[in-house]
Amino acid sequence: MGKNKSVHRKITWKCDMCESIQTSYSNKRWDMDVCKCGKSGYDLEEFYSRTMGKISIISEEEIQEENTIKLSENDSKIFIDSILNPEEPNEKLKKTFENYKIMKRSTEEEIKWKAFLYGSIVGILAGIGICGLIFLLEFI
């Protein structure tokens, strides 16, 4: 059903001792690819690579794949049915949603109140000027 793209690297290399050609992939984890003579190897990971012995890189490429989630016929029916005929929310979900609405409302009201206060303070300060501000600060 859902698709997700993954990117990994592919390196084709040759052992300089036995001249065997090997391919290493970055999507294989904790795996050192070793040549036929066993004296050279290449470990290609997502964020690093390491080699042993003497090797020559023949080619490098980036591979993009789409990963598809395959559902059984029964799972597909369950998925489609849940989309077309959703269940009523249970009590826990209803309570969570009510708490979210309360939190959101209080945050919006708090923002409006602070904007009003800051606007009022700026207006007052503009009206009294610097001398009035110094006078007020003496009492704080």
Residue pointed to by tokens 């003497």: 54
Residue extents of the structural domains in the chain: 3-68, 89-139
55-94 pLDDT per residue, tens: 999 999 988 877 677 888 998 888 888 888 888 888 988 8
Residue 122 is inside which H or E element, if any? helix 91-139
DSSP state for residue 45 in the 8-state scheme: -
How would you classify the pairing of strands 49-52 and 41-44? antiparallel
How far is 35 from 43, CA to CA, in rounded Å? 12
Report the 10 Å Cβ neighbour count for 12.
Answer: 14
30-47 pLDDT per residue, tens: 788 999 999 999 998 888
pLDDT for 111 equals 73
How far is 65 from 45, CA to CA, in rounded Å? 17
How far is 74 from 55, CA to CA, in rounded Å? 50
pTM: 0.45
